[in-house]
Structure 1
Amino acid sequence: MQKDFKIKAKEFDLEATMYSGQTSQPPWHPNGGGYNELLTVNNKPSLITIKQADDKLHITIEAHEKIPLYKVKERINHIFDLKFNIEEFYDFLYSHPPLDSVIDYSRGLRLFLAKDVFECIISSIASANCSIKRWTNAINHIKRSWGRGYQFSKGIFYSFPTPTILAGLDDNSLRSAGVGYRASYIIRTSRMISRIPIKDLKRMDYDRAFNILLKLPGVGPKVADCILLYGFRKLEAFPVDVWIQRIMKHLFSVDDKKLRDFVKDEFNDYAGYVQLYLYNYARKSGILEGVQ
């Protein structure tokens, strides 16, 4: 089966979104001006090719079995958060100086949401104190080494391994993927995952879900917020690392100990998007060079 269709994507930058360092997954595979990725739709493996032309996404599905097009559209709309009213968000930024200064650096940037929640959990753990390039390479290595391969016209594409497979690895084997000391966290979290109500986190309120994730090895506050934001689209999540601390102190003169309360009061359900735009602004503008 091979099908083509288009999706409206106003105020969306596909490349910027995929390469913004969000820990839901590595960027999709570039190919001839577009990107390829394996998606599971209705429990069937499908190769998705996506290209952007102005305000439309051109999508091709290749699958060995018939798959409903509306299901693929739903997945694409979700993964790239295309239903989010980004213009209302821009209005919010414009009304909250100095946030108005970040828009031009990140226009079209949206959440890059997990296609596989377990992959997002492991990616977020692997990203702790690690460069974007290193953790994305590590996750791709894990997929090639222990995921299941599917043959398509454009090559072999790999699913992310199950918790059972990662739980059965030894520390040295997983370290060979490039995750470093995080290998033991990943193995132990994979063993625990069946005892944590992961599927129920979407329906929980933010605070309860946050505290449950903190029980997983290798998951501190920042990683928990990454999982909640990119894995479960809890928009009140605000991942904080040392750079975000410095940016917030520089822009708002907010003390680190009061940061979470400040974010809750000032940003509310836009918190996750504000963090995404601030981080991208910091990377592109060079402001981090002057922030101590």
Structure 2
Amino acid sequence: MATTTGRTIAARARRGTHHTRARIISPGQFDLALTIESGQAFRYTKENGAYRLRNGAIEVTLRQENDVIICEGADERTARHLLRIDLEHEAGKARLEQDLVLQPIIERYGGLRILRQDMHETIIAFICSANSNIPKIRQNLTLLAQAHGERLPPPGTAINIDAARAAKTGYRAQYIVDTNRMLTRNFVQQLKRGNYEQNHALLRTLPGIGPKVADCVCLYGLDHGEAFPVDVHIFRAMKALFPRAGFKNEREAKDFAQQRWKKDAGLAQQYIFEWARKELSSAKRRPQTKNQRLVKRKKRGVAR
């Protein structure tokens, strides 16, 4: 859950300057491009292989040189926290690699990580995500931030409805205005203190936030690893990966995932989402690891 650590990291970022620079060697596999472009964060630009990422109070430029991540605009502690370069991630990934269904997906997308993001930004971003797509969400947030000095309006403040509509948010504009007004200091503090179940229920009292968006905020903005957002893509992927489970609806798929992967469900979801959006439409069967494919070929008498 979100803790004092998250608030401290944001404060350190605000005090930092663009001259701050950190070089980080990840203890495990890390793919910066895969992580930034995986539909978690939306306010970024890419130029010459480097990513300029804005998220809450953080504004950094990131690039990868082999196994080294270079971060400009934040110190090493802030960068490690944001990018989840820690042993906690490695332990979760190792547990998921024991799952025979996930093994081949992690083999392809093992460099993917879940960013630790600003809670308020994730709320606004994923309200925009309803019936939308990644390029459109990025446009919504960019335009909304441009109208407020390159930062999203602080929680608890009034957002002009015309500014929200000018950000091309469509019917979501009123949700954004109403929700931001409801994010009072007391409401935000409740979220920072709550557990997953409490926060999921509390988030759903906000306009424009249903079960899936609440799970996105819990996972990306509140660090609840057990959250498992399910949209049409994840539901289709779960049915393809677990055909015998016979999921009838998204809630059944979510319950299955949380029981199977527990506190690593969110990381499993991120791997599955990446596989689903890149491979599911062309996949004829469940993905297999290299070893699984080799065993099948040997059984058929194929040498290579």
So what's the TM-score if we normalise by structure 2?
0.79
How many Å separate the matches in 1 of 2:179 and 2:137? 17
Q: What are the ranges of 5 or more consecutive residues in structure 2 without an aligned counterpart?
A: 1-16, 286-304
Q: Give deviations 1:187-224, integer Å, cap 9, x for gaps.
A: 11011111752233233221111100000000000000
Q: Which amino acid aligns with 2:60?
A: I
Matches within 5 A, 1:2-81: 2-9=19-26, 10-22=28-40, 25-38=41-54, 47-61=59-73, 72-81=75-84
Q: Does 1:264 align with 2:249?
A: no
**Partners of 1:225 and 1:239 within 8 A in 2:** yes
Q: What are the ranges of 5 or more consecutive residues in structure 1 without an aligned counterpart?
A: 62-68, 149-157
Moved more, 201-210 or 282-291: 282-291
Moved over 3 A (4+): 37-41, 84-91, 286-291
**Partners of 1:143 and 1:161 within 8 A in 2:** yes
What is the aligned counterpart of 1:160 among 126, 143, 152? 152
What is the aligned counterpart of 2:235 among 237, 245, 250? 245
Number of residue pairs aligned between Structure 1 and Structure 2: 263
Moved more, 246-255 or 183-192: 246-255
User: What is the SS of the residue equivalent to 1:163?
Assistant: coil
**Partners of 2:43 and 2:54 within 8 A in 1:** no
Residues 207 and 164 (structure 1), Cα distance of their counterparts in 2 relative to 1, 3 Å cut: closer
The percentage of counterpart residues that share the same residue type is 32
Shift of 1:27: 4.6
Q: Which residue of 2 aligns with 1:97?
A: 100
Q: Which residue of 2 aligns with 1:64?
A: none
Could you say what the CA RMSD is over the residues aligned between the two structures, in angstroms? 2.4
Moved more, 47-56 or 207-216: 47-56
Residues 193 and 82 (structure 1), Cα distance of their counterparts in 2 relative to 1, 3 Å cut: same
Shift of 1:275: 0.5
Q: Which residue of 2 aligns with 1:218?
A: 208
Q: Which residue of 2 aligns with 1:236?
A: 226
